[in-house]
Amino acid sequence: MMFFYYGCCSFQPIQGEPDHDAMTKKLATLSVLFLALFFLSLAIGRFTVPVGTVAAILLSRLVSLPHYWSPEAETVLFTLRLPRILAAMLVGSALSVSGAAYQGMFRNPMVSPDLLGVSAGAGFGAALGMLLGFNRVSIQLCAFGCGLAAVGITYAVGVLLARKGEPVLTMILGGIIIGTLFTSFVSIIKFLADPYNTLPAITFWLMGSLASISLPDLSVAAGPILTGTLVLTALRWRLNVMSFGDEEARALGVRTGPLRLAVIVCATLMTATAVSISGIVGLVGLVVPHLARLLVGPNYTHLIPVSLVLGAIFLLAVDDLARVLFTVEIPLGIVTSLIGAPFFLYLLVNTRKGWV
């Protein structure tokens, strides 16, 4: 039997079964790269800790070892770097998997996780919380809630206008409008904010950062992100069918409406959670799924796990650069834009035209 999967940059279907041995080798290579980068990230920074010492400190939590390292090294490792590294992995994987799901669902290579206004809504929520003087947890909850609310409004607008045109197109246009509206609300808050204290905090948050992340933040964010990832993984076969388009998917027995709603809810939940703890980090969910398709093809059976690992690797590497490139830390959003924009332009120029 012949299966047809759609590529990220071609209308031309890809035929045949995937080479599972080659796929296993690619996943193994990515896993090794991920582990190497994880240990390197723990070692580098203003306070350098040798990789061997890093491994010994981590191993000492499992077995008894002689403590030849300084207490400062252990404090830096577990209090500062480990939460930040875990956050970079969690946020990067969430944005990448969400981007891959959105691109397949809307059959558009330019789709990113903030398509339906989630980033703009979360930015408004965080800015409002800062303006009102909320604490860090309340600001994250405001960002999370407003991000979900923005997508809810977008989805409602798409449903109301679906009878007058293509439902996917109306939802995309609704997301652009709602995102612009919430961006305007953010501008109003920045205009009203204290220019010496509140305004710099809002501006820095909107540029993205993991500098003040903590383990309690991670424990709260891990649940929604892992839940969304598991659901999207369970729906991977239906995502493949949706690549044919709504009419073909319905002919194959897929209920496109409930499926689209489930994917949007999961991807939005993951994106809103990631943005609420990291701020707005652009281009991760746009670039990484394209790179994953180049490595393993468009089959969501492989695309979702590879996007997850690649997203973690990409944002972890970007965060390392943000920490060590200059004497002051660079916001993540700036680094991802500087790296992601030229790379995405390269993909557009050097790959085949079109979409599924």
State residue 228's pLDDT score.
Answer: 93
Q: Which two tokens stand for residue 284?
A: 């991760």
**Average of pLDDT values for 91-95?**
95
DSSP 63: S
**Average of pLDDT values for 308-331?**
91
% pLDDT > 90, the chain: 38
- Share the mean pLDDT of the chain: 84
Query: Using an 8 Å Cβ cutoff, are 254 and 242 in contact?
Result: yes
pLDDT at 187 over 90: yes
User: Lowest mean pLDDT: which of 32-46, 91-105, 198-212, 246-260?
Assistant: 246-260
Work out the pLDDT band at 12, boundaries 50, 70, 90.
very low
Work out the pLDDT band at 352, boundaries 50, 70, 90.
low
State residue 5's pLDDT score.
Answer: 34
Task: Give the domains, in start order, of the chain with CATH numbers.
Answer: 106-280 (1.10.3470.10), 283-356 (no CATH)
Alpha-carbon separation of residue 243 from 11, 12, 18, 346, 352 (angstroms): 11, 12, 17, 24, 17
Q: Name the burial class of residue 233, with classes exposed (0-12), middle (13-18) and buried (19+) by CB atoms within 10 angstroms of its CB.
A: middle
pLDDT tens digits, residue range 263-299? 989 999 999 999 999 999 988 998 899 899 888 888 8
Work out the pLDDT band at 164, boundaries 50, 70, 90.
low
pLDDT tens digits, residue range 126-136? 999 999 999 88
State residue 125's pLDDT score.
Answer: 94
H helix or E strand, kind and range, residue 298: none
Sign, CA torsion 338/316/320/196: positive
User: Lowest mean pLDDT: which of 48-52, 209-213, 220-224, 241-245?
Assistant: 241-245
Work out the pLDDT band at 308, boundaries 50, 70, 90.
very high
User: Lowest mean pLDDT: which of 82-91, 131-140, 149-158, 163-172?
Assistant: 163-172
Work out the pLDDT band at 341, boundaries 50, 70, 90.
confident
**Average of pLDDT values for 159-167?**
68
pLDDT tens digits, residue range 238-272? 888 887 777 787 887 888 788 888 998 999 999 99
pLDDT tens digits, residue range 113-150? 888 889 999 999 999 999 999 988 899 999 999 999 99
pLDDT at 18 over 80: no
State residue 227's pLDDT score.
Answer: 94
pLDDT at 163 over 70: no
State residue 340's pLDDT score.
Answer: 81
pLDDT at 108 over 80: no
The answer for residues whose C-beta is within 8 angstroms of residue 15's C-beta and 6 or more apart is 2, 3, 4
pLDDT at 6 over 60: no
Closest C-alpha to 276, from 142, 180, 152: 142
pLDDT at 189 over 90: yes
Work out the pLDDT band at 236, boundaries 50, 70, 90.
confident
H helix or E strand, kind and range, residue 245: none
